Structure 1
Amino acid sequence: MSAVMRVFNSPMTMLGSRLSVAALGLISAPLIAHALGPSGRGETASALAAMYLVPIVLAFGMPFEVRRRVLADGGMGAVRTARRLALLTVVPAGLLAWLAVSTLFSGFDTGAAVAVVVALACTPLMVCWMIDIGVVGAQRRFGAVALLQATQPIVYVGGILVLALMDAMSVAGVIWANVIGSAATAILGAMLNRTHRAEPVPWRPLLRGSSTFYGAQASDAAYQRLDQVLMLPLIGSHEAGLYSVAVTIGTLPVFLAHAVAAPVFSDISHSSGRARVRATGEAIRSAFVVGLASAIFLAVVSPWGVPLLFGAAFTDALPAVMFAILGSLFVVVAVSAGEVLSAQNLGVRLTIAQGSGLVTCLVLLFSLGPIFGANAAAIANASGVVIALTVMLLSIRPPVRTIVPRPSDALLVVRRLTGRGGTM
């Protein structure tokens, strides 16, 4: 393989893609914030969170199970079956869309409500490209992963730029831009993973295997986005807009987290004994280094960066931003820890961990959110991820000496990002 192809198919390509996506987010979010203000920003954030959450809930863990099967036998039959099953999610997605516009988004104007309904009805598109990302990841085609991960944000941000140039920014327009991005990603995924010659596998065993991962995937998605969906009725659109800025800043390190964690699933799956212990320790330590470095950087630049990017109206978001940045440190480590549990086929334990974090977050959110607004939401989110990570580490039970950070871990991060994996 040529040097160019080695670089293209390395985690470094994923890192470059994710950094580009993060940069695009720092373009689109301020444009929306300046055009729509805190209230409009809060409405779009809640709608986009629902559009992210519903497909993951309805995917029933299939992306995880398909990835496991592709890694095990290299066949594409599971992909073909999963895509067929994905089409069926349009029915429950339609019902959830009607429920959402009748309750959580009842204050939306007609155009925004129609956009939400159509967007949620397009759930099969996102389910399909989530499956495709899992497949190319299992095949260690990191360049293809990068392309799939970047397509939706690029198209979405392109739409936002068009709306801004036309002075036509609206909640509905933002939602439509996101839908178009998802459709483009689904088309690219179908081109990268051709299944027309593959024999479909039976759907019942596929769903049984998927159910093992379903709880973990659904609870993880709920932990990441459910708070944003609930923001409107709990704290109002203005505070929801402030919290959305905190989430935007606090989730920037997640792009780095996935790049560092990319080789973890394969490394753990193909190792045992001392090699697995070593691979687990390296995954957790390298994630901690990335999380700490990114948190320090964001904490330094946010006090002047938030008002500069989002406008003076969002200065009040700074306390929530700082809590979100603190939580991001633990999020980065939790991404790698979750991959370790998935690779060990410990989906139930991962579900328990994510569920514990979700319950903690929701209890604090409902208790403190109506009183303290965006700040309480950020504290609740950070507390939830700390609990989830704690339960994950108790489930993995790595020897303490293997996860204690050491000076050489900086080089370890570089090696994981530039090589074809971690310890393997």
Structure 2
Amino acid sequence: MTITLVGNLFPPVVALASGPILAQALGVAGRGEVAAATAPLGLAIALMTFGVPEAVSYAVARHPRLVRLAARNGALIVVLAGLLATAAVLLARPWLSGGDVGIQHLMAVASLAVLPTLLLGVLRGIASGLQLWALVAWEKVLASGLRLLVLVPLWLTDHLTPFTATVVLAAMPVMGALAYLVLPRRLPEAAPDDDGLASTKALTGYGLRLWIGTISGILLSRIDQTLMTPLSSAYELGLYVVAVNVSELPLVIHRAVRDVTFVTDAHRSEDARLAAAARISTLICAVVALGLGTTMAWWLPALFGADFAGAVPVAWLLLVAVLVSTPGSIAGAGLSARGRPGLRSLALVVACIVNIGLLVLLVPVWGAMGAAVATLVGYVISSALNEVLLGRLFGVRMRDFHGVRRSDLVTLRDYGRSLVRGVGRRLRPRRRSRA
């Protein structure tokens, strides 16, 4: 969990550091143009993975010696999907840009990163299946760190424009592939026979079963940024992007807890441990959200510029949405771990449909605040459905997912102590043995 946490922590920290740079250099309208250009990129990648990286990870985890076959077939699928996604983005530019020719040109540039980013997902799936978590973490660190290293010189030399910013934001994630240069040396020997688990048909079938829920969750959290420009304006999107970047900071810890909880509950289901993970994750997120919410009124405009002061109330509401979603997200991981991922997908689909409807109704009237309200309602629905379904099927009480117990504080204390001891052992100088 600590390795996963470090990997998850780096991208939002870099986003928070690079956010003021983009805001100060581009202004609200320019920042909105870049967000409008790159939002379809993220959406296309999410839509067109078809669950293949997860399917590759599953096949490799079950039979590591099938890794080469799984990699080859997975890459073939995502290449075809990537070409279709790139074409779709190019064709949809006139509508997604709200008719702005400049944004259309930026979207065309960003669309070139669709295919390599999808192929990177296959590499990530291989590393995850082989449990090479350090490589996965390094990918995130490299991609985020290199983005900041490129943005800073561009900003200092007055070369940071909507075009150069779009190129950096689209291309730097692909550079995370450098972390996997050592991957070929870590692969096991190839299997003499294929039992069908890593075939193209098997990977596609497994991936599609996961894809519905995955895509609904991503749409729930990202469709608002794609629809903001045609429904409102690039200015409102500029405010909303900043608010989203701030509000997602508490999710860094939660996602690490969720990912580890999924694996441990799949190995051995324990209701008490699952509920404790939900409570502890919510507690930590609440502390972080409280610190952000009570202070951002003065530091957010100072970091991003006075023009972004309007993002503060939007970020407040999004922080509430994050806290509401945390217990239900752990409950959804429990459903997937216990063999019922379709029910988690159902909850996300229902929430996504409601979210899109509210976006169409509220964003033209309230702009960024309307998108925040739609996000909050969608998160409430998905979280509640996950908890209800888990309780109905597996008898886990909803109230066990909420509040704080004495045992939760003890768990946090013990984890903190073990982490400090681990760091101390690494920092302690080693004694040289006498010859």
Same fold flag (TM > 0.5):
yes
Question: Does the 8 A contact of 2:8 with 2:140 survive in 1?
Answer: yes
Partners of 1:17 and 1:262 in 2: how far apart? 12
Q: Read off the aligned partner of 2:408 and give its amino acid letter.
A: D
Aligned to 1:154: 145
Q: Which residue number corresponds to residue 3 of structure 1? A: none
| Change over 3 Å in CA distance of 1:283–1:419 after alignment to 2 | farther
Task: Name the SS for the 1:345 alignment partner.
Answer: coil
Partner of residue 204, structure 1:
201
Do 2:90 and 2:107's aligned partners in 1 also have CA atoms closer than 8 Å? no
| Residue equivalent to 2:172 | 181
Cα drift, residue 117 of structure 1: 2.4
Cα deviation digits, residues 88-108 of structure 1 (max 9, x gap): 223212221212322212555
- Tell me the CA shift for residue 225 of structure 1: 0.9
What is aligned with 1:71?
61
Residue 28 of structure 1 is matched in structure 2 by 18
SS at match of 2:233: helix
Q: Following the alignment from structure 1 to structure 2, what is the Cα–Cα distance between the partners of residues 190 and 82? A: 18
Offset, 1:387: 0.8
Counterparts in 2 of 1:203 and 1:243: CA distance versus 1, 3 Å: same
Tell me the equivalent position of 1:45: 35
TM-score, normalized by length of structure 2? 0.85
What is residue 428 of structure 2 aligned with on the other side? Answer: none
Q: Distance in 1 between matches of 2:291 and 2:223?
A: 27
Of 2, 9, 20 in structure 2, the residue corresponding to residue 12 of structure 1 is: 2
Which amino acid is 1:407 matched to?
R
1:142 CA drift (Å): 3.1
% identical equivalent positions: 25
Provide TM-score, normalisation by structure 1. 0.87
Q: Does residue 211 of structure 2 align to residue 214 of structure 1?
A: yes
How far, CA to CA, are the matches of 1:263 and 1:80 in structure 2? 28
CA offsets per residue over residues 236-265 of structure 1, 9 Å max, x none? 111111111111111111211222223112
Shift of 1:54: 0.8
Amino acid in structure 2 at the alignment position of 1:80? R
Choose which of 44, 63, 74 in structure 2 pairs with 1:54.
44
Distance, in Å, in 1 between the alignment partners of 2:210 and 2:263 is 17
Work out which structure has the larger RCO, using CA pairs closer than 8 Å and 6 or more positions apart in sequence.
Answer: 1
Report whether the alignment pairs 1:314 with 2:308: yes
* Inter-partner Cα distance in structure 2 for 1:255 and 1:288: 12
Aligned residues of 1:155 and 1:180 also touching (Cα < 8 A): no
Indicate the residue corresponding to 2:369 in structure 1.
375
Give the corresponding residue for 2:430: none
> Could you say if the C-alpha distance between residues 197 and 82 of structure 1 is closer, same or farther in structure 2, counting changes exceeding 3 Å?
farther
Q: String of CA shifts for 1:72-116, please: whole Å, max 9, x gaps.
A: 333424233212222222321222121232221255555x54443
Question: Which of 273, 286, 296 is 1:279 aligned to?
Answer: 273
Q: Which residue of 2 aligns with 1:385?
A: 379
2:351 is the alignment partner of 1:354: no
Structure 2 residue identity aligned to 1:237: A
> Unmatched 5+ residue regions in structure 2?
420-435
Structure 1 pair 314–97 and aligned structure 2 pair: CA distance change class (3 A): same
Q: Is the 8 A contact 1:152 1:181 kept in 2?
A: yes
Give how far 1:197 is off: 5.4
Q: Of the two, which has the highest radius of gyration?
A: 2
The CA distance in 2 between the partners of 1:213 and 1:189, in whole Å, is 25
Does the CA-based 8 Å contact 1:259-1:417 persist in structure 2?
Answer: no
Tell me the alpha carbon deviations over residues 172-206 of structure 1, each in whole angstroms, 9 at most, x when there is no partner. 21221123312212343364366695467310111
Q: Is the partner of 1:103 in helix, strand or coil?
A: helix
Asked if 1:130 is matched to 2:129, the reply is no
Contact (CA 8 Å) 1:291, 1:330: kept in 2 or not?
no
Could you tell me how far 1:381 is from its partner in structure 2? 0.8
Q: Deviations over 1:29-79 (max 9, x none)?
A: 111111111111122223222221211210101222223333333342423
**Offset from partner CA, 1:256-281 (integer Å, 9 cap, x none):** 12222231122012114xxx323322
Deviates more, 1:174-183 or 1:333-342: 333-342
Q: Which residue of structure 1 lines up, in the alignment, with residue 76 of structure 2?
A: 84
What root-mean-square deviation, in Å, do the aligned CA atoms of Structure 1 and Structure 2 show? Answer: 2.5
Q: Which amino acid aligns with 1:89?
A: A
The secondary structure found in structure 2 opposite 1:262 is helix
Q: Output aligned runs, 1:241-260, within 5 Å.
A: 241-260=238-257
Tell me, yes or no, if the aligned pair for 1:291 and 1:333 is still in contact at 8 Å.
Answer: no
Paired residues for 1:255-266 under 5 Å: 255-266=252-263
Is contact 1:128-1:186 (8 Å) kept?
Answer: no
Task: Check 1:338–1:127 CA distance in 2 against 1; reply closer, same or farther (3 A cut).
Answer: farther
Shift in alpha-carbon separation, 1:88–1:311, aligned structure 2, 3 A: same
User: Are 1:116 and 2:110 an aligned pair?
Assistant: no
**SS in structure 2 of the partner of residue 168 of structure 1:** coil
Distance 1:179 1:369, change over 3 A: closer
Aligned to 1:409: 408
